Structures are given as structure tokens and as C-alpha cells.
Amino acid sequence: MLPERRRVVRAKWVVEASCRVDGVGHPVRLLNMSKAGCCAEASLPGAVPGDRVLLQLTDLVVLPATIRWVRGWRTGLAFTNPLHGALLCEFAKRQKSGSEAG
């Protein structure tokens, strides 16, 4: 098994979101997230490392990011600006309460 190379801990959850690549929106499923980035599962035709994208988590939360890697249906995104810990915690709480309601 390869050693962990991440510098920050990622919270694991499944969240539906949207990712805009070259102005075109694509549905994505976030598999984990940290202050620095996330892993998205999606079909992003033509997307390559270095592409800049917009990740829309909610109507009000849109995060600019850069594609770091693409492996099949999974894509690693690095946020342009690290998320504030409070925002990440609040988003995690909302996702947890939303999944319990269903």
C-alpha cells in the first residue's frame, strides 16, 4: 500500500454538486473534501490536469478549483483558495442533517 501523501485530512461523505468546465455544467458526486480540495466522481469530457473549474456546492457556495489528476471517473480538485475550517464544518453538518432526513 502506498503511503498517504496528503497534507490535510479529508472528510469522507457523498455529496451531489455541479462542476463547470469550460462554461459547461456537469453533475458530480463528491466523495471526500478537505480545506485544500476534494475528490469528485463524474464524467468530465476533455478535462485534464491544470484545467480551471467552478465547483458549485450550493446556490450560494461556488468554489474555483484546478484539476490536479484524472483517473477514469474520478477527478482530484485543488481549491484556488483553501476553505475556512468553519465553512467546511458547517457544510459537513448540513450534509449530515440532510442525509438523516431522507
Domain ranges of the chain: 11-101
- Residue 13 is predicted with a pLDDT of 72
pLDDT tens digits for 30-78?
Answer: 998 888 999 999 988 888 999 999 999 888 889 999 999 999 999 999 9
Please report which confidence band the pLDDT of residue 79 belongs to, taking 50, 70 and 90 as the band edges.
Answer: very high
3 state SS for the chain: CCCCCCCCCCEEEEEEEEEEECCEEEEEEEEEECCCEEEEECCCCCCCCCCEEEEECCCCCEEEEEEEEEECCEEEEEECCCCCHHHHHHHHHHHHHHHHHC
- Residue 32 is predicted with a pLDDT of 87
The architecture in CATH of the region 11-101 reads Beta Barrel (2.40)
